[in-house]
Structure 1
Amino acid sequence: MRRSPLFSGIIYVVLGIIFTLLAIQYVNSDGGWSFFSILLVILATFDFGSGLRMIKIHFILKKQKNEP
């Protein structure tokens, strides 16, 4: 059974939210930006981008499926 792009997109967006929250917590507790907090922000950016792209693909495929 294959996963739909919508499900994968939602998972990526949730991971992006988690990485963003971890980065915020790490910066607040450490008192500044470090390599680890920047890495978390970069991962969150990639996850948000991939998630939004997957959600867009889902709606494109759904539109193509409904066209005659």
Structure 2
Amino acid sequence: MKQSPLFSGFIYCLLGVLFTYFAIQQVSMSGWGFFSYLLVILATIDLGAGFRLIIFHFKLKNARPKK
């Protein structure tokens, strides 16, 4: 089963938002610790990959020959 870059990009962005929410909760409960930094790093990686895949989808879509 093959997924489009757009779908994968939205999943990565959703995970990035979820990790951001968990990081905010962790910081508000116990301050900036190792786990908080880890969640922020994961959120950054996921959001970056998600936006990159979404942009790649539109570039790929524009590069296809028109019928």
Q: Report the TM-score when normalising by structure 1.
A: 0.93
* Number of corresponding residues: 67
> In structure 2, what is the Cα distance between the partners aligned to 1:66 and 1:44?
36
**Aligned-pair identity (%):** 57
- Which consecutive segments of 4 or more residues in structure 1 shift more than 6 A? none
Gapped regions of structure 1 (runs ≥ 5): none
Counterpart of 1:4? 4
How does 1:37-48 map onto structure 2 within 5 Å? 37-48=36-47
2:3 partner letter: R
2:47 partner letter: F
> In structure 1, what is the Cα distance between the partners aligned to 2:59 and 2:17?
24
Gapped regions of structure 2 (runs ≥ 5): none
1:33 partner letter: W
